Structure 1
Amino acid sequence: MRSVMLVDDEPLIVKGMQAIIDWDQNNMQIAGTACNGLEALAMMDEGPVDLIITDIMMPQMTGLELIREIRERSPYTKFIILSGYEEFKYVREGISLGVENYLLKPVNMDELEATIKHMQRDWEQEEIRQIQMDQSWRILRNNILQRWANETIDAKEFRERAQLLEIPMNKSNYCAAALRIVGDDEGNDPQKIHLAGIAEKCELLGNQGLPDGCGVICFPDQEGDIMLLFVSASTEDRGGWHLQALSRMKQAVAEVTGARAWGIIGQSESTYLGFPKSCKSVKLWLQNHLFMEGDTFIMQVESEEDANPYQEKPGPAMEQFHKLLRDGEGTEVDRFIDEVFMVEGKECCFPRTPFFNSAIQLMLAAKELEKTPDYGEIFGPLSRIHTLSKLKQLVRKTVHRTLNTYHTAEKTYSPHIMSVLEVVKNHYQDELSLKTLSQRLELHPNYLGQLFQQEVGTTFSDYVNQYRIERATHLLLYSDKKTAEIAGEVGYWDSTYFYRQFKKYAGVSPTELRSIYMKK
């Protein structure tokens, strides 16, 4: 609600304006009244008001003098001038001072109300512009902070931008932290959360009740985490204020989104130049760990060993698993998967690598039973999985989808299609086309293409690409060959085309696949 001050040495006029105009209806309230300019000026010490309606001719200080004084103190206050004199010099000076309107006494209330409504529209537009300016400023700051954290900004450019965007560079302690928002089975999807808005709210809460010289800046990163910059003027911890602030923000995220959030605090650095290093330790920790379901937690990264743990874990007994798959023992398959992902103790997080490797081995074993495996079902969701239970859920879903199709009645292909499939199996490295194969089988290419799609359920080109991607996947995971070499071995002589096709059918690039499946 906007605030209004009425200033006039005639009490009847003040009372009349208070009573005649429905201020509530105009979303305004009378903040005070004064009988001269000096009295009004003293009242402004208690706080600015949005609108002052003032007479011009008053004892001790005129309305125009009052306007000049208040303009210096409160540049956003608006003014309406009242006068019993129709003198051009008052009108001209009022216009030069930027008043909204100049009204003669007795005041025409319709004109006054029209002026107020016009000002309401101006205020609304100003608010919209201010919001847009704030959002633009925040978007720019988020972008600079992301580039700073990733070390993709020139040092000189960062210093210039930091000064403009009020990013502190002269503190004694810099520390990165992250809030990772994790969805659950109730439909809370972190991908649909407005991270910028959540980060803004976290920053407001995080800065409440901090020790002197301390501060928090929050910004979303491109991986869906909310990154935090803790700064302080002292190298001392001061009672763990980082933990207290992060705990408040973590709780707020859970309340606003309905999703769980984990908090990770990185190592402290003595200058702003060390912030990217602290960010890396946090992101590395998140990259290398899986969480348990249940309560959220806050973890502090103390060393590089914390961020990059190593855990010996025997892989699954694949011969036994292959047999269970061929036998179609769904219950036994589930029991086998449960044992692979069984953990002991009450740890809240585990090294990611051994569990991811086991998961990929199990899912690839299932895919080997499919005639046209879709590797996107495996590798696409992996980058979005952060909990052990979600990983086990993905393995079960993938394996059961294969079992449901593999153990249905075996499809019998016609001799022509059997010949085509045999050629693909033995010569997938070569250039293959329906035209060449149709000549060998003495069939029209169009007829062979229709027959292939009818019996196999996909086009010939899709089948060949999927088969090649299957062979490439095995080479990427189980050999040290370079990607370009693998592309040639499976029939792609253009590496760029191979990358595009691999991404299309596997859901990730060859490089991303190898980074997901990290053999220790």
Structure 2
Amino acid sequence: MYRAVVVDDEKYDLEGLRRLIPWAKLGIEVVCSENKPLAALSYMEEYPIDILVTDIKMPVLTGLELSRKAMEKNPDLRTIFISGYQDFEYAKQALHLKADGYVLKPIDDDEIEALLKKVVSDLDDSIKRKQDQTRLDESFAYIKGDFLQHLLEGSLAKEAIPPLMERFKLGHSAGVSRAGIVELDDVMWRSKPESDDRENPLQAAMAFVIRTMEGGAFGPWCSLSATQVAFIHTGDAWELENSLNELNDRVRAATPFTLTSSYGEPMPFPYEISRSFAQAKELIGNKMFIGKNRVISPAHAKLQVARDATDLNAILDEIFAAMAQYDLLKICDCMEELFDNVRSFDHPEKVHSFSIHVASKLEAYLRTAGETFHSLLGWGFEHLDAVRQFETAEDIKSWLRRALFEISERLFFKKQGKNRRLMEPIEQYVQEHLEEELTLRELANRFSYSANHMGLLFKDHMGESFNDYLVRHRMERAKALLLDSRLKVYEIADRVGYKSLAYFSRLFRDQFGITPGDYRKQG
């Protein structure tokens, strides 16, 4: 269904337009009908529409001005103007605006229905043309990306390379080039959207990376996965590192992610570029040891420090004793000593196995105290397997240290029964920041907890989830604000943390069984 807005300052004419035209049969939904052009403009600035049917001569804002302003936001808007016979000058201006139709009053139903049918047909044709072009563009981009990936992997016969390079306008030779890889960091922890109304952050971030690379000096590129992009660069290493650092800065500023990137030594292009790519792949794999949010160049050798492994059991015993005594500083010291052993590892999988071994030992210790990961943190076995999703040894250490802190804290509070003292500043902070886009993760970070632990604290203490608590208190605040007739409903929505008026209204109705507008009328 196409979305239409109908505007006429004469209420009788407006009602006739709304009721006498078979909109649904034409495949059109009238999403807004207004006798005040400014109100219609406000709607069109907030919501997408396809068709505008408007009277030309209206007070405050003419139909021509309304159409012109609406087309600034939506150049593809289709417009039909309605006017009296005497407004010929307006009609000429309407034609100058490339209107899709001009109807005289009194309106002939058959005439305007025929015009609307033509508009719908034109919209159908326009959508089909765009879809066809999009399919062609996507097909070409896919084939080009597939060729580049095979070229980088060295899986193409030499005789097949020149014609494909000619087809994709890559030239026959570019001297020497470097292959590189950019990879988003922390994708397992930051890719889940906050709500169904939002785009997946990972997809949005990758789209931003690709747009930025296309506008820069990286050269041909192809997607390797949902988190990695490979490229071929013909400049010098200094220029490439500057470009990669700048790309990371822009990604960090515009998305929740950072980038780790790598590149290989320069090789003859195109036939030896796979050697540079193999080196870039090996270097990006060293992110586990070298760290993320940086450029890993060929100058970075694998981090291998030969040292005697300290007795792990002795360190673990110290950690468990520190946990029982709620000695967080001692836990930190022991974790540093524990992960010093990681420096002698030569493969990321060994780091993962080592970390799972430590977590298993911790679970066994907790059982001797009559506890488990599940009883203290609500964890199942899948949480231990989540270790494999971390990208650096530092990430694993931070995750495990935080888990130890939380276990130690929960053991302590179980003994002391002082959850109330812990929750009071958290409740106060939530009440003082209801108007902000507050999330459980942000709150947890504020008070140095994981989101999972903070969620458990809320559930235990409040008897409801954090989201239910937040919505309930926001709606109570909204009820109080609705008593102030000077405030618009959308202003109230903004003051309790919601940018979408429709989403706020739905939550209010779910909470109280009545819309905000109806509640205000009752007051």
- 1 or 2, which has the higher helix percentage? 2
Larger radius of gyration: 1
